[in-house]
Amino acid sequence: MENLRYHIQLPMTDPHQLAQDEAYFFLNLNGEKKTVRFHDYADLYTYKGLYEQLFYERLKCASPKKVTSILKKSIDHSKGVFSELRVLDVGAGNGIMGEELFNEGVARVVGVDILEEAHKALLRDRAGIYDEYYVMDLTAISEQQKSLLQQWQFNCMTCVAALGFGDIPTQAFINAFNVIEIGGWIAINIKETFLDKTDNSGFSLLIKEMIVNQVIDIYHLEKYRHRISIDGRPLFYYALVARKEQDWNWIL
C-alpha cells in the first residue's frame, strides 16, 4: 500500500485517566487540528493509511500476525491443512487480518463489518484480498443473511482487535459463531482480564460458558502484547484458538 504520512499528535492529558475506548488523538490536516477518537472507525477509515499509521506503526499492534501464527500452529499440530480454511473474518475493518490470511494462503476469506466506510476503505486499500465482503450488522442478521453466509461453508472464524471495549457485541459474536461449521476453528483475541472474576463484560462470561459447556475446545491460549497504550504501557491480550464443538444455543 502506498505510504501516506499524517501528522498525528497524541494528547497531553494523563492517559491513565482515559479508558482504552475513550482514547483519542489529534490529526493535523492542512493547518487544522481535528480530534479523532480511537474507536471512531468510520472517521479513521476515511483517511487512507491513517488506521495503519496509528495502530500498527505508532502503537505497534501485533494481533493479526499473532492470531494467524497460533491458528497455523494449532492446525499443524492437529494435522489439519491451513490452506483448506474457509474463513469468516468478523469485524474485518479495512482488511488487515484478511491480508494476513490471504498471504498465508487460505482457501477463502470473507469479511463482514457493520460500516460502509470499512468496505470503502477495503476497496481503496486492499482490493482483491477478500473473496466477498459484506456490510452487515451481525447483532441482527436476517435468515436471508444467515443462509448467505452459510453457503460459504466456513470452517474458520477470525475476530481480531474487535471484541470488548464497545466494539463487537456478544450477540454479534454468537450469530457469526453459529454460522461456522461444527469442528471449525475459532481464532480471536480478547483483553487480558477476560479470565478474571472481576471481568463482568459479556465476553468474559460468554467464553467461560462456552468452555465449560463444551461449545468450544481450546487448543491454544497465549498472553501477548497486543499493542502499546498512548503512554507506552504494554496492553496485554489473550490470543485464543479453539475448535467449535456445537452451536451456542443458550441465553446469557
Ligand X SMILES: C[S@@+](CC[C@H](N)C(=O)[O-])C[C@H]1O[C@@H](n2cnc3c(N)ncnc32)[C@H](O)[C@@H]1O
Kindly state whether residue 91 participates in binding ligand X, applying the rule CB under 6 A: yes
Residue 237 is which amino acid? Answer: Y
Distance CA 77, CA 166 (A): 34
Stretch that binds ligand X, among 3-11, 137-145, 202-210, 236-244 (CB under 6 A): 137-145
Kindly state whether residue 164 participates in binding ligand X, applying the rule CB under 6 A: no
Kindly state whether residue 41 participates in binding ligand X, applying the rule CB under 6 A: yes
Kindly state whether residue 162 participates in binding ligand X, applying the rule CB under 6 A: yes
Angle, CA of 196, 96 and 99, to the nearest 5°: 125
Handedness of CA 187, 203, 163, 224 (dihedral sign): negative
- CA 44 from chain center: how many Å? 16
Distance CA 88, CA 148 (A): 12
Kindly state whether residue 112 participates in binding ligand X, applying the rule CB under 6 A: yes
Q: In what side-by-side order are the strands of the sheet with 24-29?
A: 7-9, 24-29, 32-37
Choice between 160 and 174, CB closer to ligand X: 160
Q: What's the min distance (Å) between Cβ of 45 and ligand X? A: 7
Indicate which single residue of 75, 168, 207, 215 sits in contact with ligand X (rule: CB under 6 A).
168
Distance CA 74, CA 22 (A): 35
Choice between 24 and 211, CB closer to ligand X: 24
Q: What's the min distance (Å) between Cβ of 130 and ligand X? A: 12
Per-residue mark of binding to ligand X, 59-78 (x: CB under 6 A): -----x--------------
Indicate which single residue of 101, 121, 160, 206 sits in contact with ligand X (rule: CB under 6 A).
160
Kindly state whether residue 118 participates in binding ligand X, applying the rule CB under 6 A: yes
Distance CA 70, CA 63 (A): 11
Coil vs helix vs strand at 243: strand
Indicate which single residue of 49, 93, 164, 184 sits in contact with ligand X (rule: CB under 6 A).
93
Exposed, middle or buried by CB within 10 Å (0-12, 13-18, 19+), for 249?
A: exposed
Kindly state whether residue 46 participates in binding ligand X, applying the rule CB under 6 A: no
Choice between 113 and 125, CB closer to ligand X: 113
Backbone angles phi, psi at 13, to 5 degrees: -60, 155
Kindly state whether residue 157 participates in binding ligand X, applying the rule CB under 6 A: no
Distance CA 204, CA 206 (A): 6
Choice between 37 and 77, CB closer to ligand X: 37
Locus of grid cell 461449521: 181
Q: What's the min distance (Å) between Cβ of 185 and ligand X? A: 16
Contacts to ligand X by CB under 6 A: 41, 64, 91-93, 96-97, 112-115, 118, 137-139, 160-162, 167-169, 172
